Amino acid sequence: MLNIVIFGAPGSGKGTQSARIVEKFGINHISTGDVLRAEIKNGTDLGKTAKGYIDQGQLIPDVLMIDILASVLDSFKESKGVIFDGFPRTIAQAEALKQMLAERGQQVSIMLDLEVPEDELMTRLIKRGQESGRADDNAETIKKRLVVYHSQTAPLIDWYKAEGQYCHINGLGTMEGIFNEIAGAIEKL
């Protein structure tokens, strides 16, 4: 079973590339950001809690996120594989994912790190905010999300290198070119 972690700063193209991977490899997709946005839309208690953090550009607490992830993962028991998009975002989440997969006799197959320069991330996110109206895609919140990415999420690069699962992907270029690099890395597994 393929367990792919797609990793990168906000605006690095994780969602876009995940959709292509799902289409080509026929695996399931977990986007924790999408899960949280659906909860907000449905006005659930979880949604109300999540909104406070998301609007501030902060991460939702690990315990909450790990619970959400575990319940989504359980719904994919018969799956050919899963792409984890936006999770893990902290070392604690990466350790929890490792344990959850180990309990199922599995492990992360590859961690794809989509690297994109910071000025390009800003440009993409501002544009996405204007087009989609996503509340956290405004200049002030984007800056906070990038600070959070560098302090809490980027340390996962070394963590996955130590696990031997790290794969660097140049996230600058055409959507097609980036996808070809990703598909090549997955096909080698």
Q: Of residues 20, 98, 124, 128, which has the active-site annotation? A: 128
Residue 187 beta carbon to ligand AMP: minimum distance, rounded to whole angstroms: 26
Q: Is 36 in the site for ligand AMP (CB under 6 A)?
A: yes
Q: Is 87 in the site for ligand AMP (CB under 6 A)?
A: yes
Among 33, 108, 114, 142, binds ligand AMP (CB under 6 A): 33
Q: Is 10 in the site for ligand AMP (CB under 6 A)?
A: yes
Residue 89 a catalytic site member: yes
DSSP for the chain? -EEEEEEESTTSSHHHHHHHHHHHH--EEEEHHHHHHHHHHTT-HHHHHHHHHHHTTPPPPHHHHHHHHHHHHHTTTT-SEEEEES---SHHHHHHHHHHHHHTT----EEEEEE--HHHHHHHHHHHHHHH--TT-SHHHHHHHHHHIIIIITTHHHHHHHHT-EEEEE--S-HHHHHHHHHHHHHT-
Q: Which residues bind ligand AMP (CB under 6 A)?
A: 10, 32-33, 36, 53-54, 58-60, 65, 86-87, 89, 93, 136, 145
